[in-house]
Each structure stands twice: as structure tokens, then as C-alpha cells.
Amino acid sequence: MTWLTWRQYRMATVISAALFAAFAALVVFTGLHMAAQFHDAFGSCIAANTCRFPVDDVSLGSGPLGFIIEFTLAVPAVLGMFIGAPLVAREIETGTGQFSWTQAVTRRRWLAVKAGWLLLAALAWGGAVGALVTWWSGPKNAAYLNAFNPGTFDVQGIMPAVYSLFAMALGIAAGTVIRRVLPALGVTLFGYFGIRLMIMGWIRQHYMTPVTTKFSVAQGAPFIPKGAAWQLAQGFLGPNGPLAPPSGNSGAIVGNGFPLSDVPAACRVHLASQPARVLSCLDKHGYAQYVTYQPATRYWPFQFIEAGIFIALTAALVALAFAIINRRDA
């Protein structure tokens, strides 16, 4: 079984190994260059402990390669579509299932061995890509403190390995249920990006209750959470909760941004004469600025929580494939 799996996928292995090698060469080459750039720009301030991150006046890892790095988010989808989806679907389409599934091995055992190896391969491939991207992103993470942000969070740490597992399982399950390669491929593509987008956009921020920090309306420089925190929202709070942002600059207090329409009557009297007193008046009346965020220390807990979710989804999809492969005619 294992030999057959290897025999059938050795070409795919060679091709993907070659692609990976090319990618690795590119990443290592530019990664070293970027590390040197980082050292030139911040070496002295780090030594003197005077750096103020995040910075926005240094450009690190931008250009086509930065785009390729973001695009590694598609690696799991490619694995799921071109390796996972055809696993069962192609056997049925070409009829070879009639050959393999009448040997003295049950369909479930056949699936267990094949899916087992493919999931392992997905884990290895996704893990390797993820490790490279994480290493490459080191200087960027340090300079921009954005490792926790959607988009970067998803291509670093353990996420690529876990997403690869999930996409592979999704492909295998889709192929088993749909039994045709092309539709299964499409379902894998849309399923992977759809589910991931949903979790990234709406669900991830709720893994733990976010922290909200309030500070004076008068404070000029906004509060910045420590380290690579994930900032979810910021603005002004009134006695009844967050205020809607002002419509354009004309609707806001100059230099501050507080929405004019929300200034209570008690403070409104100062508007024309002494703008500074308006702000302290707002503080007195229970108004404040706020920042809601997930602290940087939650980066790894979030990686593990999300990994748990996708591993559970993987398990469910594999279980579905196992249930279906015996129940349907082959």
C-alpha cells in the first residue's frame, strides 16, 4: 500500500520538491538581504535601546516577493485541489477503483493508508513553507509589529501546516462525496478560501475577549498597545458606548477628530472660544478615546486555538470520507 502510494505520487513529490527548492532559494536569498537591511537601519538604535517600533519609514520585503509570500496562503489550496480532490474522485472517474477496491484490502483501509500519507505530506509541505515564511518575516515582524494582523498571521507560525492539513482533508472529502475530479476541485478551492475568510474576518477576533483601553479625549498621541498586538477598533466612547466616526474632517474637532455632532450642549459653549477646554469638558462628561485589541501575548494562544478549530474540521472531513466511501457504490 505504502509502496503503491509512493509509486503513484513520486512524480508529484518530485515536482513539488523542485518548486519548493526554488521557492526556498528565493526566500533565503532575499531573507538574508532583508536581515542585513534591518540591521543597517536599526542596529544602532537597538544597541542603544532607543528604537521606536513600529516604524513606517523603512521599506522591508516589499515588491514582488512580498506578494509571493502573501500568496503562500494558496499553497494549502493547491495541495488540496490537485492531490486531495483526485484521490478518490479519479479512481471513480477512470474506473481504477474497480481494480483497487477488489483487491484483498477494504476500501476503508485503502483510504486510511492513502489519506494518511497525503495528510502527512500536506503537513510536511505546509510546515516547511510556513517555517520559511516565518523566518523570512522576522525583520518585518520586528519593524512593523504586524505578525498578529490578518494576512500575516495566516502565513506564519503553525498556520500554514494546519491549513494544509485542512485543505487536503477537504479535497479528499469533496472527491469522495462528489466523485468527479473537476467539481471536487472547485469545491475544495471555494471551500478552503471561504471557510478561511469567514474565520479570519469574523470569528478569530472572538477567540478571547479583546482588551479595551480608554484614555482621555485630550490625549494627542493615541494609545498604542505593546508589541505586535492586533488592533481591532479605536475611536471615541460616549456615555452610551462607541460613537460613530465623524463624516469627514469638517464634522470633527480640529486636530482631535471628535465628532462635532456628539459634543454635548454643556461643552458646546466652549467650541468657538477655547477648543482646549472642550476636550477637558468632554472628559468630565464621561467621554473618552478607546482602543480595542488582542494583546501581543495572545499570538501563540490564537495560533493554537485556530489550529484546534482546523484540526477538528480536518477530523470531521476525514470521518465523512470514511463514512461515504463504504456507503456509495464504487
Judged by CB under 8 A, which of 1, 35, 199, 323 binds other proteins?
A: 1
Least gap, CB of 67 to other proteins (angstroms): 35
Grid cell 462528489 in the structure block, residue? 178
Contact at 8 Å (CB) between 175 and 88? yes
Pick the stretch among 60-68, 93-101, 183-191, 226-234 that binds other proteins (CB under 8 A): 93-101
- Which residue number, 82 or 215, has a Cβ lying nearer to other proteins? 82
Q: 214 in helix, strand or coil? A: strand
- Asked if 219 is part of the footprint of other proteins (rule: CB under 8 A), the reply reads no
Tell me if 212 contacts other proteins by CB under 8 A: no
What do you get for the CA distance between the two ends of the chain, in Å? 19
d(CA 214, CA 212): 7
Note whether 53 and 145 are within 8 A (CB): yes
Q: Which is nearer to other proteins, 62 or 103 (CB)?
A: 103
- Candidate ranges 72-80, 101-109, 239-247, 288-296; the one touching other proteins (CB under 8 A): 101-109
Residue among 288, 266, 289, 286 at smallest CA distance from 277: 266
**Binding-site member from 62, 106, 219, 247 for other proteins (CB under 8 A):** 106
How would DSSP label each residue in 119-166?
HHHHHHHHHHHHHHHHHHHHHHHHHH--TTSTTTGGGSTTHHHHHHHH
- For other proteins, the closer of residues 105 and 224 by Cβ is 105
Q: How far is the CB of 117 from other proteins (least distance, A)?
A: 13
- Of 43, 54, 95, 194, which one interacts with other proteins (CB under 8 A)? 95
Nearest approach in angstroms of CB 38 to other proteins is 48
- Sole window of 45-53, 96-104, 205-213, 241-249 interacting with other proteins (rule: CB under 8 A): 96-104
The binder of other proteins chosen from 13, 59, 62, 103 (CB under 8 A) = 103
If binding is defined by CB under 8 A, does position 13 make contact with other proteins? no
Return the residues of window 242-301 that contact other proteins according to CB under 8 A.
Answer: none
Interatomic CA distance for residues 300 and 208, integer angstroms: 12
* Residue whose C-alpha is closest to residue 43's, from 28, 29, 30, 58: 58
List strand residue ranges (DSSP E) for the chain, in order.
211-215, 230-238, 241-242, 288-294
Grid coordinates of 257: 477628530
Binding marks (x or -) toward other proteins, 311..330, rule CB under 8 A?
A: ---------------x--xx
| Interface residue list for other proteins (CB under 8 A) | 1-4, 7-8, 94-109, 326, 329-330
